[in-house]
Amino acid sequence: MKGLSAPAAVHLETVDSFYAQPRPQRRLSPYYARLLAATYNLLISDADRVLEVGCGDGTLLARLRGRVRWGVDLSVTQIAAARGRHSGIEFRVGTAESLELDTDPFDVIVLSDVLNQVADVDRVLRQLHACSHAGTRVLINIHNTLWRPFLHLGRALGLARSVPDGSWLSRRDVANLCWLADWETFKSFGRIICPLPVPGVARGANRWLAPLATWPCLAIFLVARRVGLPRRAARRVSVVVPARNEAGNIRQVVARMPRLADETEIVFIEGHSQDDTWAEISALPDRHAHGSIVKLRQSGRGKANAVIEAFRQASGDILMILDADLTVPPEDLPKFVDVLVSGKADFANGVRLVYPLDEQAMQWANLCANKAFGVLFSWLLGQSVKDTLCGTKALWRCDYLRLDANRSYFGDFDPFGDFDLLFGADKLNLRILDVPVRYQQRTYGQTNIHRWRHGVLLLRMVLFAARRLKFVQAAPSPVGGRTCRAPEPVPDERRGQR
């Protein structure tokens, strides 16, 4: 093969010859495939265009969600079997090292138990750029090296599917190889402690124990995104300012707002204030030094509802939140825009716990709770999130539209909207990055937070989200190549960008 070394070419010929021979079905294989599919389907939506590289006979791909599904494998024999078994899926013969597909870019690319068998991992990962766009996610699973002797034993006993000799890549190996090929692995986790359908053991172990202890899990999953992409321009940035009993801060928000793009839109949304907040907002001009001012009155209750209503009215390419109490300085907002425009991350999350706090800015109990929630969220999301309740957050509008369409997955009882946005961003496999800010004491009014009542409510939401993100019951998946009926995809300006 052009560009491959002689040993790499020989390896591919050996793999091809191996899969050309008929192989008996193993007891472990179907159950393991169902467990893999259940995990992958938590990371894939019905609207996604999905490509599996090294799809074999299509057993896994047929169980995955997706509006469009393609499979590629080097074995003519395996692809022939896949076409015979599964309808509604496009299967192609080809090697991962020279991937050429005459179709639009894919939203999700799956590499399931395949990197250990390819001839040149770096080359394979670089080839994926040609069939991806700026928002593409590469989903990878590898075997935990701890399981190596057990898998050898399982294959000897006829329980597990036999495979040709290959590499044994660790999680760190894969992350390093991805980075070398301009892919960043930003999330990883373990799944599947019991790969055999043992009654009374497998279901409980895989659902409840695997999320708590990654080290004994058979399958290690990694999620990667493209890096090194050209900067994306944001012509307009919308800063949503929820305001309840904040009359003394409204004019300061406008006066201190920096230029964030060609047009900086400030969206005030007033929430049933007892003071003159709405009068202060109404008295503002329709434009400020850097853009327009939008004035809204909230129809529902709570900050989360205010943010949702304002985001749906905002017109910016980037959507941001700035609390009207000005405890986060408006002068820090350009940092959030830079994180998104530079491509460093997809979701910028403000963090108040890096720089020293003003003496009265945060009470001790609140500080402890914020740190505890940070630890919980870092485990839940598989990404580092140091401060979950900082009100300043930013994301691309196109991502928010998809998040909004999927909001019901986590319910609707977050009073502030911070958890709602973080959970939704993780469900979309967005890269979350902490942005430190200097948190200051408010100079007007009193906090609208009820510490204990809201704290209990947020803890309930964490427990609920844990069942939706970590302790997930394996859901039925499509089999036999039947394509899931998918809703029309939400417009996403990242799609198609190379």
pLDDT tens for residues 20-30? 776 655 545 67
Does residue 415 register a pLDDT over 50? yes
Each domain of the chain, given as residue ranges in start order, spans 6-226, 236-449
Q: Give the least confident one: 245-254, 364-373, 424-433.
A: 364-373
327 Cβ neighbours under 8 A, 6+ residues apart: 361, 391, 439, 440, 441, 442
CA 146 to chain centre: 27
The neighbour count for residue 149, using CB atoms within 10 Å, is 9
CA 20 to chain centre: 37
Q: How would CATH label the architecture of 6-226?
A: 3-Layer(aba) Sandwich (3.40)
The answer to whether 338 and 318 are in contact (CB under 8 A) is: no
The candidate with the shortest Cα–Cα distance to 394, out of 313, 338, 448, 354, is: 338
Rounded to whole angstroms, the Cα distance separating 174 from 263 reads 41
158, containing H or E segment: none
Tell me the pLDDT tens digit for each residue of 81-101: 999 999 999 999 998 888 889
The candidate with the shortest Cα–Cα distance to 29, out of 163, 209, 134, 169, is: 163
Rounded to whole angstroms, the Cα distance separating 430 from 421 reads 11
The candidate with the shortest Cα–Cα distance to 254, out of 310, 326, 361, is: 326
The candidate with the shortest Cα–Cα distance to 409, out of 399, 398, 396, 419, is: 419
Tell me the pLDDT tens digit for each residue of 247-279: 999 999 999 999 999 999 999 999 999 999 999
Assign residue 17 a region: left if phi > 0, alpha if psi is -120 to 50, beta otherwise?
alpha
Average pLDDT of span 173-180: 96
pLDDT at 251: 96
pLDDT at 494: 42
pLDDT at 445: 56
Mean pLDDT of the residues in the chain: 84
Distances from the Cα of 82 to the Cαs of 53, 252, 440, 496, in angstroms?
13, 64, 61, 28
Rounded to whole angstroms, the Cα distance separating 321 from 346 reads 15
Does residue 492 register a pLDDT over 50? no
Q: Of 449 and 68, which is predicted with more confidence?
A: 68
Tell me the pLDDT tens digit for each residue of 436-491: 998 877 665 555 555 556 567 677 777 877 887 888 865 444 443 322 323 333 34
Does residue 498 register a pLDDT over 50? no
First to last CA, the chain: 26
Q: Of 103 and 364, which is predicted with more confidence?
A: 103
CA angle, 355 then 361 then 366, to 5° = 95
The answer to whether 208 and 152 are in contact (CB under 8 A) is: no
CA angle, 205 then 211 then 215, to 5° = 90
User: What secondary structure does DSSP assign to 459-478, as a single string?
Assistant: HHHHHHHHHHHTSPPPPP--
Backbone angles phi, psi at 403, to 5 degrees: -60, -45
Q: Does domain 236-449 have CATH number 3.40.190.10?
A: no
Q: CA 439, 443, 444, 448 torsion: positive or negative?
A: positive
pLDDT at 378: 84
The answer to whether 464 and 411 are in contact (CB under 8 A) is: yes
Q: Give the least confident one: 27-36, 129-138, 235-244, 354-363.
A: 354-363
Q: Of 422 and 109, which is predicted with more confidence?
A: 109
Average pLDDT of span 354-381: 74
What's the pTM?
0.84
